[in-house]
Amino acid sequence: MQKNDYHHGNLKEELLQISFDFIAKEDTEKLTLKLLSDATGTSRSAIYRHFKNKDELIETMIKRGFDKFDDEVSPSLLDSKSPLIDRFYISGKRYMDFAKNNPNLYRLLFGKKYSHIREEILSIKDEDCSGFGALKKAVEEGQKSGILKKEDSYQQTIIIWSSLHGLASLLIDGFLDVEEIFDELFDKLFKSLLNAHMANKVKILSTIPILNKMLEPNKN
């Protein structure tokens, strides 16, 4: 059957939705423009009007993917009505949930395979960079309030981010089989980060019971 060049509705958005649905179940490497052509019943030329090649499709998916990631993680970091320590903890949990619930999308956003595309459209030195900019602002807020040590905020943010990324990668790639003890590992990681970055002799308030326990003085 001959495929149509004309397509009802917003073909670009339909192609993107199919692509995101596909990588929710399959590796991104298996995603092709031919697959999109077959799924929509449109000709390759119709798809080329929106994406001239797979790299252009991937670029748009990365932009949209970071928007989704940002919507998951940043609001809790920037919620000034909540104690800062709670915001770090909740956003860290949401970071992990995003990776766990969207493993192939997470690999697309943060993996090496398409880093050349990511680096052309994003920079972590950009204040609006998805998630990273929000974390850096929260770190700087913590420094100004005396909760966190006054160190280089950019480097401090990278250390925190890389710790989260490392645990998330272990989780989604099945390395060391951490899923069964993941919650315990996250809490221990968070406590280690607190111990490394908290200012000395500062009383921190939290509405989360597990955090108050972490913040209790060590009696040993």
pLDDT band at 128 (very low <50, low <70, confident <90, very high): low
Q: Is the pLDDT of residue 182 over 50?
A: yes
Choice among 24-28, 129-133, 163-167 with the minimum mean pLDDT: 129-133
Overall average pLDDT of the 1-30 stretch: 82
- Burial category of 152 from C-beta neighbours within 10 Å (exposed 0-12, middle 13-18, buried 19 and up): exposed
Overall average pLDDT of the 36-52 stretch: 91
Q: How far is CA 139 from CA 94, 106, 172, 180, in A?
A: 17, 23, 27, 30
Count the neighbouring beta carbons within 10 Å of the beta carbon of residue 186: 20
Cβ within 8 Å of residue 3, ≥6 positions away: 37, 41, 42, 43, 44, 46
- Burial category of 68 from C-beta neighbours within 10 Å (exposed 0-12, middle 13-18, buried 19 and up): middle
pLDDT at 79: 94
Q: Is the pLDDT of residue 1 over 50?
A: no
In three-state secondary structure terms, 219 is coil
pLDDT at 174: 80
- Matching fold, domains 1-52 and 57-214: no
Decide if 33 contacts 54 (C-beta within 8 A). Answer: yes
pLDDT band at 2 (very low <50, low <70, confident <90, very high): very low
Residue 211 CA to residue 207 CA, distance in Å, equals 8
Q: Who wins on pLDDT, 217 or 82? A: 82
Instruction: Enter the DSSP assignment of 151.
Output: S
User: How high does pLDDT run on average in the chain?
Assistant: 89
Instruction: Determine the topology of domain 1-52 in CATH.
Output: Arc Repressor Mutant, subunit A (1.10.10)
In this predicted model, what pLDDT tens digit does every residue of 45-67 receive, in sequence order? 889 999 999 999 999 999 999 99
Q: How far is CA 61 from CA 26, 49, 126, in A?
A: 15, 16, 19
* Length of the chain, in residues: 220
The sign of the dihedral angle between the CA atoms of 84, 87, 93, 94 is negative
Q: Who wins on pLDDT, 123 or 129? A: 123
Q: Is the pLDDT of residue 204 over 90?
A: no
Residue 191 CA to residue 201 CA, distance in Å, equals 16
pLDDT at 159: 96
Taking the domains of the chain in order of start, what are their residue ranges?
A: 1-52, 57-214
> Rounded to 5 degrees, what are φ and ψ at 181?
-115, 20
Domain 57-214 has what CATH class?
A: mainly alpha
Left, alpha or beta for 194 (phi > 0: left; psi -120 to 50: alpha)? Answer: alpha
Residue 133 CA to residue 209 CA, distance in Å, equals 28
Q: Is the pLDDT of residue 203 over 70?
A: yes
